[in-house]
C-alpha cells in the first residue's frame, strides 16, 4: 500500500506536479463506515427537496470556482482551458437539472388496478452506499452525472477517481463538504485496484458504477456479479458518423471534425468511423482530411505519453496491415498529430479497435444498406451520428443502428436532460436525464387493500 499510484503529471511537459499516496486499509474502512452510517440515517432525516438544495449549492460552487477547477484538469490531463471551462459548466448544469427535477422524478407512481379495491403505488427510495469508479477524460462531468442524481435520491457515494486526477478529485470532495453535505454522504478515496475489488464485495456497498475501459468494466462486473451487486457500466465506443447526403458539405465537414476532435479525440462517444456514401466520398475525404490535419497546429496533448504511445502503436499496426495514413507529423511525447486512416479492411486490427485520440478512419459505401451494416459491424454500441437530407431515411437508419444514442444532423448535442449509455461492449445502464436517476433505486410496490 505504500507505493504511490496517484499523481498529477502535466502531459504538456511530462512534469510530475504532485504525488498522492494511496489509501491505507484503515482509511478505506473509515470511508466505508462513514458512508454506511450516513446511508442509514441521511435519507430518513431529509426530504428530496432538502437534498436537492444541497446539490444545487454544488452546482453554484462549480460556477463560482470554474476558473480554478478548469486549471486543475488542464494540469492533470491536458484539456485546453476553454474546453475545461465548458466541462465545469456542463457539470454544473447536470447538478442543477437534478436539483430542479428531483422531486418530480422521484415522486410516487400510482398503479391502476385491474381488479380489486384499494390502491397501489410504486415508491422510489435509495438503496444505500454506491461505489463510483471514474475516468480521467472528463473529471468533473463524469462525477456529476453519477453523484448528482444519486445524492438527490438519498444514496451515499464512495468515489474512486482515476489515478491521474487526484487534485480534481479532492477539489470535488471539498465542494460537497462546503455545500453542506453531512460526513459520509460523499467520500473521495484513493484506492488501488485490489482495494476497489474489496470495496465492491463489501456487504455495506449496494451497487457500483464505472466509466472506463472494457477491461475495467469486465473486472468490475465480475466482482459485482459474484456478490450479487447491480452495476452500471459506460465503456468504450467506436461511434460511426454516417454521411448519406448533404446540402452543405462544408458544414458537414465542420461537424465531422468537431465530432472527432472533441476532447482531443479522447471521448468515448466521439465520432471515430466516418462512413460516407460513394457519391460524396472523394469530396468529403479531401475536405475532411485538410481540415482535420490543419488542427495539428495548436493541438492539445493527449492525457499522457502512455496514451499517445498506445495510439501510435495502433496506427502503425493499421498501416502495416495495409491501411494508408494521412498526417502532418509524428508523436512528440504526449502530443499526437491529427491523422486520417483509409483502406482499413475487415482483417485490419484497427477495424474493430477504439482509437482514443485525434485519428479518424474513413470508409466508402455504396449506399444506405451498406452504411448501416458497416456501422453495426463493431463490438461497440455507444453513440452514432447520421447525416442526411432525407427525413424518412434518417428515421430508418436511426432505428437500424445498434447504439444507445443516435444524433441526426448534429454533433456535440448532449444535454443534462438526455440519457447517456450504450449497448454491446459499450456497457449497460443509463446516466443523465430521467433514466439516470432510476438506476440505483428501490422501486417499492405498496399495495393497500380496502
Rounded Cα distance between 127 and 150, Å, is 10
Rounded Cα distance between 9 and 75, Å, is 7
234 is catalytic: yes
Catalytic hit among 87, 165, 268, 439: 268
Catalytic hit among 87, 234, 368, 439: 234
Crossing angle between the packed helical segments 141-153 and 48-64, to the nearest 10 degrees: 160
Crossing angle between the packed helical segments 48-64 and 81-105, to the nearest 10 degrees: 170
Q: Which residues pair with 232 in a beta bridge?
A: 209
CB atoms within 10 A of CB 73: 26
Task: State in Å, rounded, how far the first CA of the chain is from the last one.
Answer: 60
231 is catalytic: no
Q: Which residues pair with 174 in a beta bridge?
A: none
Q: Burial code of 257-296, b = ≥16 C-beta within 10 A, e = fewer?
A: bebbbbbbbbbbbbbbbbbbbeebbeebbebbbebbbebb
Q: Are 239 and 412 in contact (CB under 8 A)?
A: no
Q: Which residue has the cell 445524492?
A: 151
The cell numbers describing 244, all together, are 448519406
Task: Tell me which residues are annotated as active site.
Answer: 234, 268
Amino acid at each position: 500500500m505504500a507505493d504511490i499510484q496517484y499523481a498529477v503529471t502535466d502531459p504538456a511537459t511530462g512534469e510530475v506536479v504532485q504525488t498522492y499516496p494511496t489509501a491505507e486499509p484503515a482509511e478505506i474502512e473509515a470511508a466505508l463506515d462513514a458512508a454506511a452510517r450516513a446511508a442509514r440515517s441521511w435519507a430518513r432525516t431529509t426530504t428530496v427537496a432538502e437534498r436537492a438544495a444541497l446539490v444545487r449549492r454544488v452546482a453554484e460552487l462549480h460556477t463560482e470556482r470554474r476558473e480554478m477547477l478548469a486549471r486543475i484538469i488542464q494540469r492533470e490531463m491536458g484539456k485546453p482551458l476553454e474546453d475545461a471551462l465548458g466541462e465545469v459548466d456542463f457539470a454544473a448544469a447536470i447538478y442543477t437539472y437534478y436539483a430542479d427535477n428531483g422531486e418530480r422524478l422521484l415522486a410516487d407512481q400510482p398503479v391502476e388496478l385491474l381488479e380489486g379495491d384499494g390502491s397501489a403505488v410504486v415508491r422510489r427510495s435509495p438503496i444505500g452506499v454506491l461505489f463510483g469508479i471514474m475516468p480521467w477524460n472528463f473529471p468533473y462531468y463524469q462525477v456529476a452525472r453519477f453523484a448528482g442524481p444519486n445524492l438527490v435520491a438519498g444514496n451515499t457515494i464512495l468515489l474512486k477517481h482515476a489515478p491521474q486526477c487526484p487534485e480534481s478529485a479532492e477539489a470535488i470532495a471539498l465542494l460537497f463538504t462546503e455545500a453542506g453535505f453531512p460526513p459520509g454522504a460523499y467520500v473521495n478515496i484513493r484506492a488501488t485496484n485490489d482495494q476497489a475489488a474489496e470495496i465492491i464485495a463489501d456487504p455495506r456497498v449496494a451497487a457500483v458504477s464505472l466509466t472506463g475501459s472494457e477491461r475495467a468494466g469486465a473486472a468490475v462486473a465480475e466482482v459485482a456479479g459474484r456478490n450479487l451487486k447491480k452495476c452500471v457500466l459506460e465503456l468504450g465506443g467506436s461511434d460511426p458518423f454516417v454521411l448519406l447526403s448533404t446540402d452543405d458539405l462544408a458544414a458537414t465537414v465542420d461537424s465531422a471534425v468537431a465530432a472527432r476532435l472533441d476532447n482531443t479525440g479522447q471521448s468515448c462517444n466521439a465520432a471515430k468511423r466516418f462512413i460516407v456514401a460513394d457519391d460524396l466520398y472523394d469530396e468529403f475525404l479531401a475536405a475532411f482530411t485538410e481540415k482535420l490535419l490543419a488542427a495539428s497546429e495548436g493541438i492539445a496533448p493527449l492525457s499522457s505519453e502512455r496514451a499517445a504511445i498506445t495510439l501510435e502503436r495502433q496506427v502503425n499496426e493499421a498501416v502495416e496491415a495495409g491501411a494508408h495514413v494521412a498526417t502532418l507529423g509524428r508523436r512528440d511525447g504526449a502530443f499526437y498529430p491529427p491523422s486520417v486512416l483509409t483502406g482499413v479492411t475487415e482483417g485490419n486490427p484497427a477495424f474493430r479497435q477504439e482509437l482514443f485520440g485525434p485519428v479518424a478512419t474513413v470508409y466508402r459505401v455504396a449506399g444506405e444498406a451498406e452504411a448501416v451494416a458497416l456501422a453495426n459491424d463493431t463490438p461497440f454500441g455507444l453513440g452514432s451520428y447520421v447525416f442526411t437530407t432525407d427525413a424518412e431515411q434518417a428515421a430508418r437508419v436511426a432505428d437500424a443502428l445498434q447504439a444507445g444514442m443516435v444524433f441526426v444532423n448534429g454533433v456535440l448535442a448532449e444535454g443534462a436532460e438526455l440519457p447517456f449509455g450504450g449497448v454491446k461492449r459499450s456497457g449497460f445502464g443509463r446516466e443523465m436525464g430521467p433514466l439516470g436517476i432510476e438506476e440505483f433505486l428501490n422501486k417499492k410496490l405498496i399495495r393497500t387493500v380496502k
